[in-house]
Amino acid sequence: MSFYEDKIFPFFMEKATKTFRREIAELIAQAEGRVLEIGAGTGANLGFYSAAVTEVIGIEPVAAMLEKAQRVVQQTGHDFPVQLQVGDARALPFEDDSFDSVVACLVFCTIPDPEKAAAEAFRVLKPGGTLLALEHVLSERRWVQRLQKGMNPAWKHLACGCQLTRDTASIFRGAGFRLHKASHRRHPKLPAFAGELLDGALLKPS
């Protein structure tokens, strides 16, 4: 990793995700049982888990982010165990059907092979389990799509691989998920190119 990816980008990422704090808190409050958080980052989401959770395992590809997340774990003092580890969402080191909930907030825009990561999330979830996702996605409006596609080459360079043009709902459906309570909506406080969201719970059918 470069100095920018290790030291500068995590700072801006943490600031940017504060815009979604309310939405993320409401989403993560739905998690229960044994939870896998994909893209745990600096641990900003760890305080949102409820008493319905028995364990959280967080994976993150950037070790420098996990160093900050580990400090959050120590400060938060959860009643359930929290384990953080460097990992790749495209090759999860967990057995099939081993989690009750999988959490993914603002990560599928960046994963190089999102189809493989979605398939892995589906694999490790128990039948009837939920994928709780908040992702900015390709707009349904054509003029916004043109804007997103025009900005994407520069954006993904500055944002360490983040893509503005992912049709993440289709990716999840292709992996076998049902959208269940997830919906496509617009965030009122964000510019159009970054404010188109897939938000809610996706179900792994029993």
Residue 200: Cβ within 10 Å count: 21
Q: How far is CA 100 from the centre of its chain?
A: 16
Nearest-angstrom CA–CA distance, 125 and 158 = 33
- List, run by run, the mean pLDDT of 10-residue segments along the chain (206 residues): 56 65 92 96 90 96 84 82 94 97 94 96 98 93 92 80 90 95 84 88 95
Contact by Cβ (8 Å): 196, 138: yes
Q: How many CB atoms within 10 Å of residue 72?
A: 18
What is the pTM for the complete model shown? Answer: 0.87
At 10 the pLDDT is 59
pLDDT at 16: 63
CB 1 within 8 A of CB 64: yes
Calpha distance 105→18 (Å, rounded): 12
